[in-house]
Amino acid sequence: MSLDELQERAPRIVEDYEFDEPPEALWRAVSLPAIRERWLPANALASHEPISQVPGREASYRMREDAPPFLESIVTFRLDPSGAGGTRLRIIHELNDARLREPGLAPANGNARPPLMRAA
């Protein structure tokens, strides 16, 4: 898949989950590296430390794909208490690679159009 095709797609995935466990239990799973490693391997992270964090509520991590074009993204875990003593977990995964945000320079000679095939 080309970078242009990735840019045209929706760069964000949002998933919601409900758990019976209290927010403190899920916060440990999201914030402690030893527990987090079980379901979010360290080799998937560009940085092992969160890039932003609101203790007990939200943590964001930078991820990097392990295959070309090695795009970077940010995954955010938001925790909200539910009415029954459980927790609502929202996972937001955003493709934010700088190569997708900045449009490339167009060639000065006008060769920016896709190539066309000639009819025989």
Q: Taking the domains of the chain in order of start, what are their residue ranges?
A: 3-101
Look up residue 30 and give its two tokens.
């999201």
For the segment 76-118, what is each residue's pLDDT rounded down to a tens digit? 999 999 988 899 999 999 887 766 655 555 555 655 556 556 6
CB 100 within 8 A of CB 3: yes
Q: Is the pTM of this model over 0.85?
A: no
Q: What is the CATH number of domain 3-101?
A: 3.30.530.20
d(CA 60, CA 80): 15
Q: Which tens digit of pLDDT belongs to each residue from 60-74? A: 999 888 777 778 889
Kindly report the number of other CB atoms within 10 A of residue 3's CB atom: 13
